[in-house]
Structure 1
Amino acid sequence: MMTQVMVQPSSWVESGIKISQVRNLKLFKFTDELQSRLEELNATKKAGMLNLEQEAELTGILELDRIFTLLNAKIIADS
């Protein structure tokens, strides 16, 4: 198993998360700012230019994205 450093996903709870109405459901989404940051970090990674701090940030955002995917899937399945 490989140990990975990441920014805690909970650090974006106050500023990076919104709840959006999709049809009759309320789903977790990233704010426009956090979505833009994710895209920026992905582009930097693709260019092979991520530093360790950015890698930790990207890892944390991607973990939060996985959590949202699971939560939103549960919300949809239970509706």
Structure 2
Amino acid sequence: ISGFLLMGYVRITPRVEAALKAIPLSVMVGIVTPAATSGKLPELLALLAVGLVMKLVRNDLAAAVAGAATVAIARWALG
């Protein structure tokens, strides 16, 4: 809440706007990188699924759901 309130005092320049737009991407990289470097099959399959869905549908939410579903199904199937 404090971040939201403090942003009311920040002047939104093009540079600040660009930084704010980059935050979701940097958060996703921070989440995905450890999973990708672990080299486990469910996570690698999920990365493949996310890439495929993004290429075909170009929808972030659909790609995230596809990745989460792929990890869940692969973990269940592999035991």
The answer to whether the superposition gives a TM-score over 0.5 is: no
Normalised by the size of structure 2, how large is the TM-score? 0.30
Normalised by the size of structure 1, how large is the TM-score? 0.30
Structure number with the higher strand fraction is: 1
Structure number with the higher helix fraction is: 2
Structure showing greater relative contact order (alpha-carbon pairs closer than 8 Å, 6 or more residues apart): 1
